[in-house]
Amino acid sequence: MTNPLVSIIIPHWNHRDVLVDCLHSLRKTEYDPLEIIVVDNHSEDDSVAYVREHFPETILVENEENRGFAGGCNDGADQANGKYLLILNNDTTQEPDWVTHLVRFMEANPSIGVAQPKLINAKDPASFDYSGAAGGFMDRYGFPFARGRIFENVEKDHGQYDDPVQTFWASGTACMIRAEVLTQIGLFDETFFAHMEEIDFDWRAQIAGWDIAVAPQSKVYHHSGFTLPPESPFKKYLNHRNSVFMLLSNYHLWNTIFRGLQRWLLDWMALVFSIARADWSRAWAIIKTWIWIISHPHIIVKKRRQVAAIRRRSDREMDQRLYSASIALEFNLFRKKTWDVDRHAIVGTDVEITEISKHE
């Protein structure tokens, strides 16, 4: 059988050498056919000229402004021809068989709309990567975590999460999306600019009837933090604002009000703790978040209408995919810092994951 075309989309902004390492790694990818699309978000270095000269096989999209990760992915999707679109960070390297494993997994599991590989810390290959580890989950108040990473606590990889499972979100660091999902629910929401746009996308995909999973036989190494360092105030603000925006957009009205108020209370608790610890950048991120929320009701209402138009699953069905307690309270107050399969597993769904043999 002929392999389906896979379109790899790499949003990029500055740090040419990082992108070059990624593209060299992609040349070692064993899968065929591939098309590689680099979307340059108006880099200030010589990234464009270098890619054009040294990687002529690459499709190069040149933006006249920085359109963020979401905009860059959307611009790449507009150029893609593949049955599968593979979103990829520019600061990654990959195992040669990573695409093969993802395609086989998706072909064997037609209900899966989005899947991610296992993400490994490139600087410490014995550890999971912060950005998505072995599959993403989220609580009902909009706080994401992952199998192998809860907030800042990252586990060592001992093979404990090498089973493919259903998850709530697949990391934008590296994730494979069926093109038909994009056709059905639309592209990434560019209001997010960067951070959590993939979680919002995966939430909408599930609302529309698709499922999300991790295929850990596929492995990607992530260097992380080149575009926005972990302690960047702007990064903290985007992460916080986008999680609240997502929560207020994707629930039915009653849950939006009820859980929105609960999230507001949790955020004010977090604000008090941030001030007590003199973590001014996080405190300011929380304040700015709610200023933005209060001043942009029209954007939230528009987003809610778009979600309502694709809804196939109720909040009750979606709640079975969300962690019912507050992961933030458990982590910060009760010191629960590691993954617990029984407590965090998705329940009440009838998805059966077909595992692909390592030797297939």
pLDDT at 346: 75
211-227 residue pLDDT tens: 999 999 999 999 976 56
Q: What is the mean pLDDT of the chain?
A: 93
241 and 202 in a single domain? The answer is: no
Of 40-49, 85-94, 103-112, 345-354, give the lowest mean pLDDT range. 345-354
pLDDT at 336: 76
Of 5-19, 42-56, 216-230, 299-313, give the lowest mean pLDDT range. 216-230
Q: Are the C-beta atoms of 112 and 173 separated by less than 8 Å?
A: no
Evaluate whether residue 25 is within a structural domain.
yes
111 and 215 in a single domain? The answer is: yes
Band of residue 348 on the pLDDT scale cut at 50, 70, 90: low
Q: Are the C-beta atoms of 56 and 26 separated by less than 8 Å?
A: no
Evaluate whether residue 354 is within a structural domain.
no
With vertex at residue 40, the alpha carbon angle to CA 35 and CA 41, rounded to the nearest 5 degrees, is 140
304 and 270 in a single domain? The answer is: yes
pLDDT at 329: 87
154-202 residue pLDDT tens: 999 999 999 999 999 999 999 999 999 999 999 999 999 999 999 999 9
Crossing angle for the helix pair 297-310 and 233-250, to the nearest 10 degrees: 50
pLDDT at 143: 93
Q: Are the C-beta atoms of 102 and 213 separated by less than 8 Å?
A: no
Q: Which of 163, 142, 259 shows the shortest CA–CA distance to 217?
A: 163
The total of structural domains in the chain comes to 2
Q: Which of 186, 201, 222 is the last residue of a domain?
A: 222
> According to DSSP H, which parts of the chain are helical?
16-26, 47-54, 68-79, 98-108, 179-185, 197-207, 233-250, 253-276, 280-295, 297-310, 315-319, 327-332, 341-344
End-to-end CA distance of the chain: 14
70-104 residue pLDDT tens: 999 999 999 999 999 999 999 999 999 999 999 99
237-261 residue pLDDT tens: 999 999 999 999 999 999 999 999 9
101 and 63 in a single domain? The answer is: yes
96-120 residue pLDDT tens: 999 999 999 999 999 999 999 999 9
More confident residue, 260 or 324: 260
**359 pLDDT above the threshold of 50:** no
pLDDT at 350: 65
Range of the domain at 176: 7-222
258 CB-near residues (< 8 Å, 6+ apart): none
Q: What's the whole-model pTM score?
A: 0.94
| Sign of the dihedral defined by the CA atoms of residues 322, 112, 26, 227, in that order | negative
133 and 217 in a single domain? The answer is: yes
| Sign of the dihedral defined by the CA atoms of residues 285, 288, 290, 293, in that order | negative
265 and 124 in a single domain? The answer is: no
pLDDT at 357: 59
Distance (Å, whole) CA 81 – CA 75: 13
161 and 272 in a single domain? The answer is: no
Evaluate whether residue 328 is within a structural domain.
yes
More confident residue, 100 or 351: 100
pLDDT at 13: 96
Name the amino acid, one letter, at 335: R
pLDDT at 325: 87
